[in-house]
């Protein structure tokens, strides 16, 4: 199975496989959303099935919850578990301080709530997600549908006084209709190209009426696990100031992702 993976999927897979090493028996684990996080959920399901560890998952989207149930990871709500030991998620961008842009999958609100309700957040990524300065990836902003065009205009006006290179916002679409989050909200993608002061931008964005949350995850991530297509991983721990390099053994098994729908 793993021999058939593309280089980018092999990189995501080894990062995910290394990240689930942090999961211990009895933990309450936040499960991210997106293509990289999906590999993590599958790997977590494998160790639940093969090793019998007990975990409680809290999903950051309905599609992650569906996948977790398929692979045998029990799911409960955040209100039920209250607090999490660990959240593992992907990122659209990360910088050297492990600040992130997230929300490419449209689940930024639940992802941020779950991440901040965790003792530790681990991000899994491939090397292409690393940037010197955040902003190349469009910044998602979740807004309520009512008056969204006014909210968009207010955001673009605000951006004229912010240290960014681009100032256009676009409504995310699903076919010909606005994309809807699990909460029924819209997503505006801000094409900024470079964000000079992420802290300032995050604060000002969330003060605009109609904005629910933005995709800047600042001072939340503790560890990033970077996977490479050759099976090597780099683990950066921002709190300990350590960088470790490892190789993950990739073993083809007949039942690795059995009965998991695409």
Confirm or deny that 77 is annotated as ligand binding: no
Confirm or deny that 166 is annotated as ligand binding: no
Confirm or deny that 2 is annotated as ligand binding: no
Q: How many CA atoms lie within 13 A of 227 on its CB side?
A: 27
Q: Which residue stretches of 76-214 are H helix?
A: 78-81, 108-116, 148-159, 198-205
189 in Cβ contact with 72 (< 8 Å) = no
Nearest one of 145, 157, 156 to 181, comparing CA atoms: 145
Strands 121-125, 86-89: pairing is: parallel
- Asked about 183 being catalytic, the answer comes back as no
CB count, 10 Å around CB of 179? 15
Nearest one of 194, 148, 195, 200 to 171, comparing CA atoms: 148
Confirm or deny that 89 is annotated as ligand binding: yes
Q: How many CA atoms lie within 13 A of 97 on its CB side?
A: 11
What is the 3-state composition of the chain as percent helix, strand, coil, each rounded to the nearest 5? Answer: 30, 25, 40
Confirm or deny that 33 is annotated as ligand binding: yes
Confirm or deny that 129 is annotated as ligand binding: yes
Q: Which of 46, 111, 142, 213 is catalytic?
A: 111
Enter the tokens of residue 152. Answer: 């968009």
Confirm or deny that 57 is annotated as ligand binding: no
180 in Cβ contact with 186 (< 8 Å) = yes
Confirm or deny that 91 is annotated as ligand binding: yes
Confirm or deny that 152 is annotated as ligand binding: no
Question: Catalytic positions, please?
Answer: 111
Specify binding-site residues for substrate: 33-36, 89-92, 102-105, 129
Specify binding-site residues: 33-36, 89-92, 102-105, 129
């Amino acid at each position: 199975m793993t021999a058939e993976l593309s280089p980018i999927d092999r990189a995501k897979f080894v990062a995910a496989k290394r990240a689930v090493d942090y999961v211990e028996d009895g933990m309450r684990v936040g499960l991210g959303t997106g293509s990289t996080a999906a590999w993590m959920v599958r790997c977590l399901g494998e160790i639940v099935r093969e090793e019998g560890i007990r975990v409680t998952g809290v999903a950051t989207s309905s599609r992650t919850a569906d996948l977790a149930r398929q692979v045998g990871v029990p799911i409960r709500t955040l209100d039920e578990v209250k607090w999490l030991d660990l959240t593992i998620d992907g990122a659209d961008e990360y910088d050297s301080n492990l600040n992130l842009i997230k929300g490419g999958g449209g689940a930024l609100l639940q992802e941020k709530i779950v991440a901040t309700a965790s003792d530790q957040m681990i991000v899994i990524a491939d090397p292409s997600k690393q940037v010197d300065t955040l902003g190349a990836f469009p910044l998602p902003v979740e807004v309520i549908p009512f008056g969204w065009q006014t909210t968009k205009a207010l955001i673009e006006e605000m951006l004229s006084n912010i240290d960014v290179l681009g100032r256009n916002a676009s409504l995310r679409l699903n076919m010909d209709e606005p994309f809807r989050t699990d909460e029924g909200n819209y997503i505006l993608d801000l094409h900024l190209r470079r964000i000079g002061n992420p802290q300032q931008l995050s604060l000002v964005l969330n003060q605009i009426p109609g904005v629910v949350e933005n995709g800047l995850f600042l001072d939340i991530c503790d560890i990033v696990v970077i996977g490479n297509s050759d099976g090597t991983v780099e683990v950066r721990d921002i709190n300990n100031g350590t960088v470790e390099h490892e190789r993950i053994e990739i073993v083809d098994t007949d039942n690795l992702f059995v009965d998991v729908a695409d």
